[in-house]
Chain A
Amino acid sequence: MKLAKQILAIVLTAAVFASFDIAVYNVVTKRYMNHNSEAMQAKSVELCKYLPFDENSEIVKINSSFKLNEKLPVIDGAAALYPVFSAFVNAVYPKESVHFDGENFTSDSALHYTNTRGSYKAIVDGDADLIFCAKPSEEQLAYAKEKGVELELIPIGREAFVFIVNAENPVNSLTEEQVRDIYSGKILNWSEVGGKNRLINALERNEGSGSQTQMLSFMGGREIKRNIFGALTGSAIGFSFRYYVEGIVGNSGVKILSINGVYPDKEHIANGEYPLSSNFYAVCRKNDDNENLRAFIDWIISEEGQKIIEQSEYVPLK
């Protein structure tokens, strides 16, 4: 009898630990496991896939009539636009102006990649001359003002701000108001918007990222509230830019939602029917007097530059 109790105590102790581990794995760990490569995880985009002057690169390559050979503006930008500005550099810059050490661009390279937050800091600090991003956040504008720098934003194309859910989530479309209600904590369960009876986990991104800035603008001043129970057990909704989801990451485990019944494909972005279409910009310092910078921007919004944007699967201005 004593032996049976002792064995039971050992088995129960082991079972408690095993149950804890299985629960943690299923509820938390599994969600964070990454399906993408380490490079993608670390940088948001695999630089090697879209390098300029590389025959294996996936960027759009055109024979440009416009070339720059001196006074090259230093380029930087957002992850979602990296394939585009890398293609611009490939078309216009000399090959020897870009230096890549296998992991990142070196400091003497005319092409850099530090994502939205790094780019806005770089353009204000003078480490970059032309960046490609969504609109700056309030903090980024305040930083520029503090440093006495006035930024000029030139629209060069259009992109869609999109909301994504797991591919198996039965919800395919939300209204703008439903999305705001979800993020402000008014709607807590997917069943309230036609989905399963499961809590909603409304995800946000880092402050200063292009999509987070867009989200705060979309919320129009309404406070974003995170539901702790949804975060632990809910099914997530997140946001990003269309091309980043479809083109760069290409993750089939997620799906993009229609907003107000309109799916954000190229046609609906171009004709403005998708309500969350917005411009993306070439951003420079207003007082930058490098004539090559202005000529480069003019070329980007010319037929040739817009062709690169269109062939890169983004939406050109016209």
Chain B
Amino acid sequence: MKDRIFYGILIAVCVVGAAVSAALVIYTFQLYEHASIISYIANGG
């Protein structure tokens, strides 16, 4: 595999991975803002 293609794929994986992780963290924070203590415990927290 040419280096250019390799680095292109690697950067794409990093960008997508970072975007998904950031979305998950933001979503989790939004859930936390409205968390119900009873739901939290029911979920195994």
The tally of residues in A whose CB lies under 8 Å from a CB in B reads 47
Closest Cβ neighbor of A211 among chain B residues: B37
Whether B45 and A201, one on each chain, are in contact in the complex, defined by CB atoms closer than 8 angstroms, is: yes
Nearest B-chain residue to A201, judged by Cβ: B45
CB distance from B11 to the nearest CB of A (A): 10
Instruction: Tell me if A31 and B36 are in contact (CB < 8 A).
Output: no
Determine the chain A residues whose CB is within 8 A of the CB of B41 once the complex forms: 164-166, 203, 236-238, 253-254
Mask for A197-216, Cβ within 8 A of B = 1, else 0? 00001010100000000000
Cβ contact within 8 Å between B37 and A31: no
Q: How far is the CB of A240 from chain B (nearest CB, A)?
A: 7
Chain A residue numbers with a CB within 8 Å of B45 are 31-32, 166, 201, 235-236
- Complex contact B10–A17 (CB within 8 A): no
B26 CB to closest chain A CB (Å) equals 11
Q: How far is A24 from B32 in the complex, measured between Cα atoms in Å?
A: 13
Check: A56 CB closer than 8 A to any chain B CB. no
For the complex, what is the distance from the CA of A34 to the CA of B32, rounded to whole Å? 10
**Minimal beta-carbon separation of A11 from chain B (angstroms):** 9
Complex Cα gap A2–B5 (Å): 13
A34 touches B34 (CB 8 A): yes
Taking a contact as CB atoms under 8 Å apart, the answer to whether B31 and A17 are in contact is no
The number of A-B residue pairs with CB atoms under 8 Å apart is 113
Residues of chain A with a CB closer than 8 A to B38's CB: 164, 238, 240, 245, 249, 251, 254
Q: Is the CB of A30 within 8 A of B43?
A: yes
Cα–Cα distance between A236 and B45 once the two chains are bound (Å): 5
A29 touches which of B28, B34, B42 (Cβ 8 Å): B28
Q: Does A71 contact B (CB under 8 A)?
A: no
Q: Which residue of A lies closest to B16 (CB)?
A: A17
- The answer to whether A21 and B39 touch across the interface, beta carbons within 8 angstroms, is no
Q: What per-residue 1/0 map shows which CB atoms of A256-285 lie under 8 Å from chain B? A: 000000000000000000000000000000
Q: Contact check, A238 vs B43: say whether CB atoms are below 8 A apart.
A: no
Q: A6-B6, A29-B31, A203-B37 are in contact. Are A253 and B42 (CB under 8 A)?
A: yes
Q: Is A228 engaged at the interface, CB distance under 8 Å to the other chain?
A: no
In the bound complex, do residue B21 and residue A31 qualify as a contact, i.e. CB atoms below 8 Å apart?
A: no
Binds B, one of A35-43, A82-90, A143-151, A182-190: A35-43
A17 B42 Cβ-Cβ under 8 A: no
Q: Which residues of B contact A252 (CB under 8 A)?
A: 42
Are A10 and B43 within 8 A (Cβ)?
no
- For the complex of A and B, 9 pairs with smallest distance between CB atoms: A253-B42, A17-B17, A31-B45, A32-B31, A29-B28, A238-B37, A6-B6, A236-B45, A34-B39
Question: What are 30 of the A-B contact pairs (CB < 8 Å)?
Answer: A2-B1, A6-B6, A9-B10, A13-B14, A14-B17, A17-B13, A17-B14, A17-B18, A21-B20, A24-B25, A30-B44, A31-B40, A31-B43, A31-B45, A32-B35, A34-B34, A34-B35, A36-B39, A41-B34, A164-B38, A168-B44, A203-B41, A236-B40, A236-B41, A238-B37, A249-B36, A249-B38, A251-B38, A251-B39, A254-B38
